[in-house]
Structure 1
Amino acid sequence: MDGGEIRMVTKRKGRKKRHSQPADLLNEMGETVAETPDTSPAEDAGDQANDAHQVGEAVAGYELASESSGESVADTAAWRGPSGHLDHCPSGVRVPVPAISSHLIEGFGPDSLDPYGGRPGDMVGASDRKGLRAKVRTLCPPVPGIYGMFDRHGELIYVGKSRSLRHRLLSYFGEAARKEKGGRIIENSRAIQWETQPSDFAAQLRELQLIRRWTPRFNVQGVPHRHRPVYLCLGRKPAETFFLASSPPATDCVAIEGPFYGAERMRSVVDALNKTFQLRDCSQQTVFQYQDQLSLFELSPRPGCLRLEIGTCLGPCAAACSRDEYVQRVNAAQSFLDGFNDEPLVAVRELMESASANQQYELASRARDTLKSLQYASRKLGHLADARRDFSFVYAATGYDACSIWYLVRSGEIIDVASAPKDRDQYQLLRPTLKKWQSLLGSRHQRVRVDQPHSVAVVASWFRKHRGELKQTFQPEGAGRRYHRLSHHRADAL
């Protein structure tokens, strides 16, 4: 067996799958490889039965085969899978947990907004609700953090956050949650992993970060369309247009706003914006040609739809406008996203009033619905615009475990973090960073693309709901006074 390979059969999703792994890799994974036995058959049987019991607990959904199955536990370790078939492995070799995703092995992944380089966490697993609940009650702390639910195959199926992890997780096991979405999640869960966060604000940022990274199915599937987050984007050259995206596109966008909750409603918003600003809404496969664009042959391209004829599109596909004319409309659309242009609201309201006056009630009804959607988008964009205009500072988020974090907020977006200094030496080390932050805030009116565009929505919502937290903000040049004031408070507390 030395240096050789051990072939074993594991079970996943009701199908047998054969794995081949070197003996030393099994040892690294913590698996026990049997050598020449020096013990009696009776002792072997006891050890193997104990191994079988341990693995049977670890593999959710699998149960140890009963003696009535006709198999001898002394000869082979046997498990009965969900399909009722038996899976076997050679005597003396522990069956590993079925192949699981990297989420369960390596945690939730790196956190770019954690200056401390890692947060405490834990994971519990059980084969039934009662066992899982008991472990959560015993081990999970009542502090802020995020949590993830894993199914029997080790796939991350849901991510959530709470200001009290223990209370939130225990709520999934209550009778009231059985008929709700939480009941469906916990029924499919065989393991729960959590990661503490120093504050509720940090937990919100981490939750959105993980949902974007892993897209767990219960964070997407089963969520009504009216609650699904989407991003309102303006881009896609050579003829920019409004469109929706489930996550912020990495390239080819003039502006990205969101997230907005309500995909169906936002589709009507996109339709109204493209018509109001006379931007195209055709496929990206369409061939576009502007009036001032040189062509080898003198052709007369025809539009692919009626929008050019009815005046709701400039017709970049039919050489009906120049590139400069189209760019002017794109700039006007971008000013609407920035909260400085209410042209769509005025146009749709005038259409509704005109249709109503002419007794075109069906048209007036559609215009009214579109106006409501635009007002929703305008209100949300207004909140984001206020955050970009007013929120440029350092936010000192106090941690429950003394792991406080200073967030650099520039035009409403978090662009850097640092651990709050706890003594004079740490403050001196932080001074170069504070000088850099002061320079960054000096150009805060110039919008820049950041790695986490969703943070502006979190920041705007957080300070709108927690006005008192604005007292925890300061400018980088005032960090010294802030640090000395906190030092005096800590000294008084001691």
Structure 2
Amino acid sequence: MPRKRSQVTIPEELATTFATSERCPSRESVRTIDLTGTLKTIRSRVRENCPQSPGVYSLINSENQIVYVGMSVSLANRLQTYFTQKRARRRESRIRRAAVRLIWQPLDHGLIARIRERELIRKFRPLMNVIGHPTQLKTGYVVAIDHPVGGFEFVEELRGRYQGIWGPIPFNQWSRDATEELNLHFQLRDCPKSTVLYFSGQPTPEAPSTPCLRADLGTCLSPCIGKCSKTAYLRAFKRARSFLNGSAEDVTAEIETQMREAAGEKNFETAARLRDRMKAFRYLNDRLRRFHDWTNRANFVYRFTSEIDSQPRWLVVSRGVIHQLIDEPSSVEQAMGILNPLNSSRTRHSKPTRPNEQLRPGDFETARILFRWFRQFPKEKTSRLSYSAALRLIKRRRAD
């Protein structure tokens, strides 16, 4: 018997929503076909209607819900794999059986297709997608508490003001543990802001009580009972900030020395605790350097040729986030109108402290894709221009 699918009518709103993009708008319209008829006839319709260019696609069930979102550098070739009877295509067959309609949109470049795929997954949350699903990738921030004598916390959402923000980084137990180890190593407080502080040399109650276990264990400088001066506490806080900003070698070397000394004294419990701390610090530093630092430096124009109409395009990136996808400017004035405001913004936000200056979770995923793209295809770095180099390119072309 021929394998058929019942025809349904998809609301126009779904196609419009599918085509809408905050980061990478496309000039190409969305196309759809019903999955009716045999697999052979469906493959034939795909070959006739779908281009070989990069793009994104989705399969929709009878309830007008998007069940799967994907991308490909060659849409026609990829989509035909869903309508074969090969045993090697079991996953594609399972997705196809849940769908009654196919929708796709051509895009200018493979990188754009990757970014659009993750954007659509975050928007629609398809049941059959795993990679890129919001429930699979949560992000958080290491923040310095907004207090004259504060410590550090790991939060999922930014609310209010902070002395400093580092991230986003993956929201998981490792990141939480690393932030806790940060307070422990530098002996910074993690008690409520309302705790009354009595620094050394200041008047204290006649019999100040030890407020918590950390004070007893000596893992906190204990400014609440006058065990340290304000200067000493702020010095430790500054060292912790330096670690988060990239000066990690001295801290990890210090922990490693302490670990070896503890092991030499056969204090293996202490050595194991220091080993776990060093692992946590290396994990935190690696995540911060990989994305936090890269996004702050990622201010460039990625120049490429569209695979749809062979015209030059600019992907303008500011602090790791796609600012615009545009045709290559035809004049210096047009290019300056786009790039000069971003230069000013980059200088102003070089040390972000407010939530609205930070990456959103979706922007974090975009930064990850950009970062991986240029690592996977290092030759593409030659097409990555600084803002000033992009302006010089337009000037030379005008002069010619």
The residue aligned with 1:374 is 281
What 5-or-longer segments of structure 2 have no aligned partner?
200-204
Alignment equivalent of 1:461, drawn from 372, 377, 384: 372
Contact 2:181 2:280 in 1 (8 A): no
Residues 1:276 and 2:182 aligned together: no
2:314 is matched with which residue? 406
TM-score, normalised relative to structure 1: 0.59
Structure 1 position 409, deviation (Å)? 3.6
Aligned to 1:436: 341
Q: Does 1:387 align with 2:285?
A: no
Which residue of 328, 336, 349 maps to 1:421? Answer: 328
The equivalences for 1:171-190 within 5 A come to 171=81, 175-178=87-90, 185-186=95-96, 188-190=98-100
Q: 1:307 corresponds to which residue? A: 214
- AA partner of residue 315 (structure 2): Y
Deviations 1:202-225 (A, max 9, x none): 2333334344444445556998x9
Q: Tell me, what secondary structure is at the counterpart of 2:18?
A: coil
2:154 alignment partner, one of 243, 258, 274:
243
Q: Which structure shows the higher helix fraction?
A: 2
Cα deviation, residue 131, structure 1: 8.3
Q: Which amino acid aligns with 2:374?
A: F
Task: Choose which of 15, 30, 42 in structure 2 pairs with 1:121.
Answer: 30
Tell me, yes or no, if structure 1 residue 472 matches structure 2 residue 379: no
Deviations 1:220-258 (A, max 9, x none): 6998x9x7453343256565533253xx64655532424
Which one has more relative contact order, counting CA pairs under 8 Å at least 6 apart? 2
- Out of 164, 167, 173, the residue aligned to residue 74 of structure 2 is 164
Q: C-alpha deviations, 1:108-143, integer Å up to 9, x for none?
A: 3642323x6654333345389948963655544332
Query: Runs of 5+ in structure 1 lacking a partner?
Result: 1-53, 60-96, 490-494
SS in 2 for 1:195: strand
CA distance in 2, matches of 1:333, 1:164: 48
Amino acid at match of 1:461: R
Given the superposition, is the C-alpha separation of residues 318 and 436 from structure 1 closer, same or farther in structure 2, using an over 3 Å criterion? same
Report the Cα distance in structure 2 between the residues aligned to 1:475 and 1:463, rounded to whole angstroms.
15
Query: Matched residue of 1:464: which SS?
Result: helix
Matching residue within 194, 199, 215 for 1:288: 194
CA positional deviation for 1:339 = 1.8
The amino acid that maps onto 1:193 is I
Amino acid at match of 1:382: R
CA distance 1:112–1:387, change in 2 (3 Å): same
Coordinate RMSD, CA, aligned: 4.8
Task: Report SS of the residue matched to 1:339.
Answer: coil
Secondary structure, counterpart of 2:302 in structure 1: strand
Q: Which residue of 2 aligns with 1:58?
A: 8
Aligned pair count reads 379
Q: 2 CA distance for matches of 1:127 and 1:280? A: 65
Q: Distance in 1 between matches of 2:39 and 2:106?
A: 23
CA shift in 2, pair 1:202/1:310, >3 Å: farther
Amino acid at match of 1:57: Q
Identity %: 24
Pair 313,393 (structure 1): closer, same or farther in 2 beyond 3 Å: same
Q: How does 1:23-172 map to 2 (within 5 A)?
A: 56-58=6-8, 104-108=14-18, 110-114=20-24, 118-126=27-35, 130=39, 134=43, 136=46, 139-171=49-81
